[in-house]
Amino acid sequence: MKKQITFIVGLTLLTCNTIYCQKNLVPLYEQDTLEVSDIKTTHLLFDQKIKYLDVGSPYFVADTTQQMIRLKHIGEELVDVRSQISNLTVITKDGGYYSIVLGFNRFSNNLTYKVKRTKAYVDVVKKEANKDKEESAIFESICKQLDRHSNNKLRIKNGKSGDIRIRVTGIFYIKEKIGLRLELKNESPIDFDIDHFLFRTKLRKRFTKDYLYQERVIQPINICTDDFEIIGEGQKKVTLLFDKFMLNEKEKLSVDIFEENGGRSATLNISREELLKPKVI
């Protein structure tokens, strides 16, 4: 009898703990089931870029491109109940949280959905998004300030050969950031689409063979343009922002520009002495 009483008390405690825990779970909202086919593709369109995507079942597959999700059923084991339903979880760049129930319907007619903004947000992601937004506003302000200034004393340019000519038209120091303005000239009638810039430290001259040197890549924190095409025989000015950095006495800064889907490139070297004499704003 004593053992039976102990069992009942333990069960009661377990039940109370379970009920107590469930009081902390608040359903976001009532959900309709999104029907997905194995012979058609369903598309979901979001207002923001997608940061996180998860599908709860291997019978449903999803992939994402920027602000769109493509959904499809694999079409296998259709008689198995487990293949008929699943869930989709999405977190967008601004922290928006979406939980969607998925169901199988081979002949579903609705194939494209515009997903409304959610009231539920992931705080950590939202804070990161707000921080990125604030940084973007700061960078935009700095870019506008740099547009109003010039540094005509600079005469740094690459060699005469090559399709792309590079000239440094400004080195600036503003709010503990270094700004570097490049003037790019396309000497070919074929448009040049910039794939990426590469900034790295190099030795000014070669030392002994046993001298070890590790190059450093200096990443820009912002590029003051959204257009990376230099039309044939045209010019473009590009300003890049960096966190404050400096070279040592044996180094120079190498600037490389590479073409998207092409074989053209160009290189320019900037001395430590020039970097030490920026225009202070």
Per-residue model confidence as pLDDT tens digits over 64-104: 988 999 999 999 888 888 899 999 999 998 888 998 999 99
Please indicate, yes or no, if residue 4 is contained in any of the structural domains: no
- pLDDT at position 16 over 60: no
Distance separating alpha carbons of residues 35 and 86, to the nearest angstrom? 10
Q: How confident is the model at residue 18 (pLDDT cuts 50, 70, 90)?
A: very low
> Range of 255's domain?
146-280
Q: How confident is the model at residue 26 (pLDDT cuts 50, 70, 90)?
A: low
Same domain, 250 and 185: yes
Residue 18 or residue 213, greater confidence? 213
Distance separating alpha carbons of residues 205 and 167, to the nearest angstrom? 22
Same domain, 107 and 163: no
pLDDT of residue 120: 83
Please check whether residue 206 is in contact with residue 182, taking contact to mean a CB–CB distance below 8 angstroms: no
Residue 221, domain CATH: 2.60.40.1150
pLDDT of residue 146: 86
**Could you say which of 65, 90, 124 is where a domain stops?**
124
**Entry pTM:** 0.58
pLDDT of residue 9: 38
DSSP label of 83: G
pLDDT of residue 7: 38
Long-range contact set of residues 172-176: C-beta below 8 Å, sequence gap at least 24 = 172/146, 172/278, 172/279, 172/280, 172/281, 173/244, 173/278, 173/279, 173/280, 173/281, 174/142, 174/145, 174/146, 174/280, 174/281, 175/142, 176/243, 176/244
Lowest mean pLDDT across 107-111, 133-137, 270-274, 276-280: 133-137
- In whole numbers, what is the pLDDT of the chain averaged over residues? 83
Same domain, 220 and 181: yes
Same domain, 150 and 120: no
Read off the tokens for 59: 């019978």
Provide mean pLDDT across the span 250-272. 90
Distance separating alpha carbons of residues 90 and 69, to the nearest angstrom? 10
Please indicate, yes or no, if residue 136 is contained in any of the structural domains: no
Please indicate, yes or no, if residue 134 is contained in any of the structural domains: no
- pLDDT at position 4 over 50: no
Residue 93, domain CATH: 2.60.40
Q: How confident is the model at residue 253 (pLDDT cuts 50, 70, 90)?
A: very high
**Count of domains in the chain?**
2
Q: Is 47 helix (H, G, I), strand (E, B) or coil?
A: coil
Percent share of the chain, pLDDT over 90: 42
Residue 169 or residue 13, greater confidence? 169
Task: Return the top range by mean pLDDT from 103-112, 132-141, 159-168.
Answer: 103-112
Please check whether residue 204 is in contact with residue 185, taking contact to mean a CB–CB distance below 8 angstroms: no
pLDDT of residue 162: 65
Please indicate, yes or no, if residue 5 is contained in any of the structural domains: no
Taking only the tens place, the pLDDT of each residue in 161-190 is: 567 888 898 899 988 999 999 999 998 899
Same domain, 153 and 253: yes
